[in-house]
Structure 1
Amino acid sequence: MLALVQRVSRAKVTVEGEIVGEIGRGFLVLVCAEQGDTTTEADKLLAKLLKLRVFGDAQGKMNLSIQNIDGQGTQGGLLIVSQFTLAADLRGGNRPSFTNAAAPDLGRQLFDHFVAQARAAHPIVQTGRFATEMAVELVNDGPITIPMRIEPAATPQ
């Protein structure tokens, strides 16, 4: 499972002129399920995301997680957006191939699972809309952008 995590001052997702998700300080998380991914990879990705220490402490060092963005217990927001294009493969030329992305049904199932688990573990979770044209606006803070990948476990033979 793939994610591109951007530390933001604020971010929002609009669909047909309607704001469907919006946060202040926190993470904009673009998420992509790949072929072979299961809820296990989704859960591991979320656990890693919630512990990712990229918010500055009192000394300005990146030591704080989304669960304590200011050292005073303040929790940041998560804006989670599905984005199958993270699975783009450009090895064959200039037109990306998305064959590594999970099929839409599996992608939706894993995205929904990821969001449900995020909501169970974190108080501030907003989303975009799966398989919809979205306008994503953000103010990247830092800028800090972290690619994350959780590989599916090898299947025993």
Structure 2
Amino acid sequence: MKHYTYDGLGRLIRTQSPFPNIEDGAISGEVRSERFYYDGIRRIQEVVTDPLLSIETLMAGGGGEGWGELEALALAATEAEELDTKATTLGLEEGQVAMLGGGGGSPAPVIYTYVAREYVWGTGDGQAGPGQRFARRAAGKQGI
């Protein structure tokens, strides 16, 4: 199942989906997080972080030894409100990135964060107006 998060202006700011696919993600308890950044109303960047452990996996001890802080965050998140434990909260996502973003640990894999897409928009002076997109760059691709 895909999870969507919106900001106060109704813009999509994050999605989460099972990682690496629906079947394997359901077994491993890992999710992919995609964050979307805006300059007002126009999307300018999409950042992907994967693999992250779900709340359910962390509460079951799936993080391994030395993951007490993250397990406590997962428990606190579920006590505060009713959540889908197959996903992760923003705070839990940031905690995992802080612990594993640079080096990794056992048994959990290294967490990778990368820019998936960037957008360059016009100033609004041209015929197309402010919605004119000049360029879109996808990860690993060159050019405009």
TM-score (norm 1): 0.26
* Greater RCO (CA < 8 Å, at least 6 residues apart): 1
By percentage of residues, which structure has more helix? 2
Structure whose alpha-carbon radius of gyration is higher:
2
Q: What TM-score comes out, normalization by structure 2 length?
A: 0.27
